[in-house]
């Protein structure tokens, strides 16, 4: 559902007052997105905590969450709210803390599927992240307790609850049992 007719930029979107609605900017238009439920929040927080603990201990970069904006397209602008993302200090130096949105893609994006999410919409977001240059996108599905990994030039992979989830291209050495993210 479109709640704005005129095309706006990501900077204009960022400067809008918070009206309480959950939105994203898609091709210059503000669209409402469904509010995630409690279980979605638990899964996002758990993933962010696991990543943050591992990354901060190694001083590798930043973890962002809570629908932090990622600019996936310009002219017209598209700004997606990632559930969790990781920016290495190699991509976004420690001294660089953008006021609005980084000019570089994250090293990793994690989306958590809500019960109302449609796979077609999820795949659209995944494609936008990959086209932007994100090396790996992970979609966590609490209903099936699985993790799906997407890469630009590799087949998709699905990991079950007892499998180890790794991101060797983004975080060599990191591993977590998939099922532990849904407890």
* Percent of the chain whose pLDDT exceeds 70: 97
> Given pLDDT bands bounded at 50, 70 and 90, which one contains residue 1?
very low
CATH class of 37-182: alpha beta
Kindly state the DSSP code that residue 2 receives in the 8-state scheme. Answer: B
Q: Pick the residue with more confidence: 38 or 61?
A: 61
Tell me, yes or no, if the pTM score tops 0.75.
yes
DSSP string, 5-73: -S---HHHHHHSPP-S--EEEETTEEEE-PPP-HHHHHHHHHHHHHHHHHHHHTT-EEEEEEEEEEEEE
In the chain, count of helices (H) and strands (E)?
Answer: 3, 10
Where are the chain's structural domains? 37-182
Q: Which residue has the tokens 């095309």?
A: 7
């Amino acid at each position: 559902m479109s709640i704005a007719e005129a095309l706006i930029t990501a900077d204009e979107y960022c400067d809008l007052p918070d009206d309480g609605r959950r939105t994203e900017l898609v091709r210059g238009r503000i669209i409402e997105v469904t509010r995630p439920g409690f279980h979605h929040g638990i899964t996002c927080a758990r993933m962010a905590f696991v990543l943050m603990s591992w990354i901060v201990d190694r001083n590798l970069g930043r973890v962002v969450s809570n629908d932090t904006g990622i600019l996936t397209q310009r002219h017209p602008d598209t700004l997606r709210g990632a559930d969790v993302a990781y920016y290495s200090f190699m991509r976004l130096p420690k001294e660089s803390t953008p006021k609005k949105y980084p000019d570089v893609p994250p090293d990793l994006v994690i989306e958590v599927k809500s019960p109302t999410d449609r796979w077609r919409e999820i795949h659209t977001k995944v494609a936008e992240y990959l086209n932007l240059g994100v090396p790996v996108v992970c979609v966590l599905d609490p209903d099936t307790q699985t993790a799906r990994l997407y890469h630009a030039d590799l087949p998709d992979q699905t990991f079950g609850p007892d499998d180890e989830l790794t991101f060797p291209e983004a975080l060599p050495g990191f591993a977590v049992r998939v099922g532990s993210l849904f407890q």
